[in-house]
Each structure stands twice: as structure tokens, then as C-alpha cells.
């Protein structure tokens, strides 16, 4: 077995600046034990010479559909049959659109349609292109047809913009292909994930909220989808695009989140409660904007329902993964929450000035009755994957398959 699970890996390279990273990707894939053949679009060949991939993989590179030498024997069909895994990296917005609409006007898009092996795509494009509704719709179509979407990463882009759209680092792509290849446990399971903050209205223009960005919960939803789970993501107000393949329900308040979670509890196997739910809401939300008249304003607050504790108390309910955001006594407080809410597992993170909330990275102490594992600081996407690796064993034990 190779590191990625593929013996014959077809690497498609399309025309984006991150095509240069695909050379290193090809090298790592060869090092992982796979036989790698590269197909490039014409635009990709403007960024990197085909000869470079040929040197790295030891195999000739193909670029054209109408290649007289290879197509005499229907070479593209043969190549599609040869592959036991197909990876397109980088996958440009143009390629995603053509794949989503079933065009077959060049070798790579024809191969995608002809290939019955599992397909993964690592998108790479400008942040505004990534956020465009057309791109997001194409991604959803591809994900609904079983394509695994890897990334993109967030950060500074070649064009100077900052945000999601960068191709994942080659080593991360290889690691993700590895986790896809053993997607046994969570495949077909229904998972409900909550993410982001809740906002509790004081009046029509003000609310009580918190600093959660939703990044951790969205990364978790994405990791579950990658492993073949059916994911419902109940999200508070955040500025993130929905991971492909995820069904998202937007809410604002804790009461709305409570309703959305319980409306979707039927058949749920795992409940992952990553949202920073407000513990209290204003006793009353004023109909009109409160005027600046009195010297002192006192807000009466009432307790919100504890969504996670209620799910954990369900008879024959799902496996429950809670989170704990702590500014002090992390271990004691986390253990107390695990016990009090009767959870199967809890991921605790220190939060404060420059920790946990909003950032792209995080660290988690994962605890369960009788054990714990520290997951060091890393990008939230990688962290979510590591968390699933820990969860897998506990989930199997819980489900009685140990
Ligand atoms: O969103 P990011 O910016 O990426 O930041 C991630 C995070 C720090 C928000 C995340 O990692 C995290 O810690 N989420 C839980 C935050 C939190 O509300 O912790 P808590 O200790 O207050 O709550 C404990 C658990 O009970 C949580 O699973 C929470 O979702 C749940 N809860 C809390 C209150 C409530 N009324 N209902 C709940 O379900």
C-alpha cells in the first residue's frame, strides 16, 4: 500500500501560477510509492515545461487530446483506465467550470469524464474568484458527484490579495490523499457540526456576541466531508464560504441554533459542537434602538438552553464531541465540562488575547473518559484532520466495533 493509497496516480496540472508547486507535489507522490503520470493543459505548459514533470516522474507527459501517436489506440481512454486515483492540482476556476459542466474539449477534461477512479481537486485562484457564486456552485456540483475538494489554503496570494484561494502545500495534499484512502469509519455517517458565534439582540442594531470566526468548525465540517460523511453545518454569522459538499444552515441566535440542531438530529451519528454559543441572552430585545438618555444602562440576561448538554442527554443520541474555550485552568475546567455535560469527547483550547478565536491556527487538548491527547499548534484544517484521527478510535469504541 502506498502512502496515498494509489498505485497508478494520474496528476492533472491546469494553468495557474501554483503549477510550479505541482512539481514538488509530483516528486512527493513518486516518493510515496505511486507510479505518477502527468497530464497538463496547454495553459499549464505556459507556466511549467512538461519536461520538468517528465524528469520528476520518469514518465512522458501528455498535453494534447489530438495527439496522433497516442490517440491511434484511443490513448486517453487507456490512460483513464490505467489510473486508480486522479488528482487535479492546481484546479483553476476555468477547469472546475468545465468539469462541472461535463465539457471534454481538451485531454484533461476528457480524462476526467472517462475516469471511474476517485478524483480529488486542489483549487487555486484569486480570492475574489474563489468567492464568486459561479465557482462555489461548480464546486458544490463536483462535490455532490463525489469529487473530493482539497483546500484551498488561506493567505497572501501571488496577485497581492489576501484570503482563501492558494493551492494547499504539496505535503498537505499528499497527507489528505492518504486520509481519503482510508475513509472507512465516517463514510456514510451523518454528522451535525455547529460553528461560529451566536448574536443575541439587544435592540434592532446591537447584539451580545463573541469573537468566534467559525474557522475551526468549518475546518471540521470539511474534514468530515473529505472522509465521506454527510455533513450538516449549523453556522452562526461568519464570513466564510461553505465547504463543498456540506449542507449549511445559517442562524443568528442560540435559540435558532438550538432549533436547527434538533430539526436535524434524526439519524445523526455524531454531533460536533464547535460553536461559541452565548450562555445568556438579553431578557428582552427592544423593538426600537435604545436612546442614549440614562447615565447607566442595565441589561437583564437570561440563560440560553445548553444545546450540547441536551443532545448528550438524548436517549440513543449521537456520539457527542464538545469544545471548551478556557482562559484559565484548562485541564480541570475541561474535565469538569466533559463530566457535567456527559460527553463522549471534548476538545479544549486555551483562548484569550492571541489564542483560539479568529486565528488560522489553534491547539487542542482532546479528552475523553479515561484518556487524553494533546494536539499541538497547527493550521485549523490540519488540526481538524488530527482531531478526526483521535475521534475515530473513540467513535469505534462507542459504536461497539473496537
Ligand atoms: O471560530 P474560531 O474563531 O475558529 O474559534 C474556535 C473556537 C475557539 C470558538 C472553538 O475552538 C471553541 O472552543 N468552541 C467552543 C467555544 C465555547 O463556547 O466553549 P464553552 O466552553 O463556552 O462551551 C462548551 C461547549 O458547550 C461547546 O461545545 C459549546 O458549543 C457548547 N454550548 C455552550 C453553551 C450553550 N448554550 N450551548 C452549547 O451547546
Task: Check whether 115 has a pLDDT greater than 50.
Answer: yes
Whether ligand 1 lies within 6 angstroms of the CB of 147 is answered as no
Span from the CA of 211 to the centroid of ligand 1 (angstroms): 11
Please enumerate in sequence order all residues whose Cβ is within 8 A of that of 79, keeping only pairs 6 or more positions apart, or say none.
10, 37, 39, 62, 111
* 190-284+294-400 shares the fold of 8-180: yes
Instruction: Kindly report the average pLDDT of the chain as a whole number.
Output: 92
Higher-confidence residue of 6 and 376: namely: 376
Tens of pLDDT along 28-84? 999 999 999 999 999 999 999 999 999 999 999 999 887 766 665 557 788 999 999
> pLDDT at position 402, please?
41
Domain boundaries, the chain: 8-180, 190-284+294-400
* Residues annotated catalytic, as ranges: 159
Sequential DSSP letters for 82-95: H-SEEEEEEE-HHH
Residue having the nearest C-alpha atom to atom 35 of ligand 1:
306
> pLDDT at position 66, please?
74
Query: Which numbered atom of ligand 1 lies nearest the CA of 309?
Result: 39
Reading the block at residue 142, the C-alpha cell is 463536483
Query: Which numbered atom of ligand 1 lies nearest the CA of 304?
Result: 36
- Average pLDDT of the segment spanning 88-98: 98
Task: Check whether 225 has a pLDDT greater than 50.
Answer: yes
Span from the CA of 278 to the centroid of ligand 1 (angstroms): 9
Residue having the nearest C-alpha atom to atom 5 of ligand 1:
357
Long-range (24+ apart) CB contacts under 8 A made by 132-140 are 132/93, 134/97, 135/93, 135/96, 135/97, 136/241, 136/242, 136/244, 137/100, 138/93, 138/96, 138/97, 138/99, 138/100, 138/101, 139/96, 139/100, 139/244, 140/242, 140/244, 140/245
Whether ligand 1 lies within 6 angstroms of the CB of 351 is answered as yes
% of the chain beyond a pLDDT of 90: 76
> pLDDT at position 157, please?
81
> Which of the listed CATH numbers 3.40.50.10300, 1.20.1260.10, 3.30.2350.10, 3.40.50.880 matches domain 190-284+294-400?
3.40.50.10300
- If you ran DSSP here, which 8-state letter would residue 100 be given? H
> pLDDT at position 399, please?
75
> pLDDT at position 146, please?
86
Flag the least confident range among 150-154, 276-280, 319-323, 370-374: 150-154
Helix-then-strand count for the chain, H and E: 15, 19
- Average pLDDT of the segment spanning 238-253: 92
Span from the CA of 191 to the centroid of ligand 1 (angstroms): 17
Task: Check whether 374 has a pLDDT greater than 50.
Answer: yes
> Which of the listed CATH numbers 3.40.50.620, 3.40.50.720, 3.20.20.70, 3.40.50.1950 matches domain 8-180?
3.40.50.1950
The whole-angstrom separation of Cα 219 and Cα 279 is: 24
Query: Which numbered atom of ligand 1 lies nearest the CA of 213?
Result: 3
Higher-confidence residue of 379 and 354: namely: 379
Tens of pLDDT along 248-275? 999 999 999 999 999 999 999 999 999 9
Reading the block at residue 139, the C-alpha cell is 464546486
Query: Which numbered atom of ligand 1 lies nearest the CA of 341?
Result: 26
Tens of pLDDT along 158-212? 888 888 899 999 998 998 888 777 667 898 899 999 999 999 999 999 999 999 9
Task: Check whether 237 has a pLDDT greater than 80.
Answer: yes
> pLDDT at position 71, please?
60
**pTM recorded for the entire structure:** 0.76
User: Which residue among 277, 317, 350 has the greatest number of ligand 1 atoms within 8 angstroms of its CB, and so is best to mutate?
Assistant: 277
Please enumerate in sequence order all residues whose Cβ is within 8 A of that of 381, keeping only pairs 6 or more positions apart, or say none.
151, 153, 172, 219, 222, 223
Task: Check whether 394 has a pLDDT greater than 70.
Answer: yes
Whether ligand 1 lies within 6 angstroms of the CB of 212 is answered as yes
Amino acid at each position: 500500500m502506498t502512502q496515498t493509497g494509489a498505485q497508478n496516480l494520474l496528476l492533472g496540472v491546469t494553468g495557474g501560477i501554483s503549477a510550479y508547486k505541482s512539481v514538488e507535489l509530483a516528486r512527493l507522490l513518486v516518493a510515496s510509492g505511486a507510479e505518477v503520470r502527468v497530464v497538463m493543459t496547454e495553459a499549464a505548459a505556459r507556466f511549467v515545461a512538461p519536461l520538468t514533470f517528465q524528469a520528476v516522474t520518469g514518465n512522458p507527459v501528455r498535453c494534447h487530446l489530438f495527439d496522433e501517436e497516442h490517440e491511434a489506440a484511443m490513448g486517453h481512454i487507456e490512460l483513464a483506465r490505467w489510473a486508480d486515483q486522479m488528482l487535479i492540482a492546481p484546479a483553476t476556476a476555468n477547469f472546475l467550470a468545465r468539469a462541472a459542466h461535463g465539457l471534454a474539449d481538451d485531454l484533461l477534461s476528457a480524462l476526467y469524464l472517462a475516469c471511474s477512479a476517485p478524483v480529488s481537486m486542489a483549487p487555486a485562484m484569486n480570492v475574489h474568484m474563489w468567492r464568486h457564486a459561479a465557482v462555489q456552485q461548480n464546486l458544490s456540483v463536483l462535490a455532490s458527484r463525489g469529487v473530493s475538494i482539497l483546500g484551498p489554503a488561506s493567505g497572501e496570494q501571488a496577485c497581492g490579495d489576501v484570503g482563501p484561494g492558494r493551492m494547499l502545500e504539496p505535503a498537505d495534499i499528499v497527507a489528505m490523499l492518504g486520509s481519503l484512502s482510508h475513509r472507512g469509519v465516517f463514510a456514510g455517517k451523518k454528522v451535525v457540526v455547529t460553528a461560529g458565534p451566536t448574536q443575541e439582540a439587544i435592540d434592532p442594531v446591537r447584539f451580545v456576541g463573541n469573537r468566534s470566526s467559525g474557522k475551526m468548525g468549518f475546518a471540521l465540517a470539511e474534514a468530515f466531508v473529505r472522509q465521506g460523511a454527510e455533513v450538516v453545518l449549523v453556522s452562526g454569522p461568519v464570513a466564510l464560504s461553505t465547504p463543498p459538499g456540506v449542507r449549511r444552515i445559517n442562524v443568528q441566535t442560540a435559540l435558532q441554533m438550538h432549533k436547527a440542531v434538533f430539526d436535524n438530529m434524526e439519524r445523526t451519528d455524531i454531533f460536533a459542537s464547535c460553536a461559541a454559543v452565548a450562555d445568556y441572552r438579553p431578557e428582552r430585545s427592544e423593538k426600537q434602538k435604545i436612546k442614549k438618555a440614562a447615565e447607566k444602562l442595565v441589561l437583564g440576561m437570561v440563560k440560553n438552553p445548553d444545546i450540547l448538554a441536551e443532545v448528550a442527554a438524548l436517549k440513543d443520541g449521537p456520539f457527542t464531541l464538545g469544545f471548551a474555550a478556557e482562559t484559565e485552568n484548562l485541564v480541570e475546567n475541561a474535565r469538569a465540562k466533559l463530566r457535567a455535560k456527559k460527553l463522549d469527547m471534548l476538545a479544549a483550547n486555551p483562548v484569550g488575547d492571541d489564542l483560539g478565536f479568529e486565528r488560522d491556527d489553534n491547539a487542542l487538548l482532546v479528552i475523553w473518559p479515561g484518556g487524553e491527547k494533546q494536539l499541538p499548534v497547527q493550521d485549523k484544517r490540519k488540526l481538524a484532520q488530527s482531531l478526526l484521527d483521535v475521534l475515530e478510535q473513540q467513535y469505534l469504541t462507542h459504536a461497539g466495533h473496537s
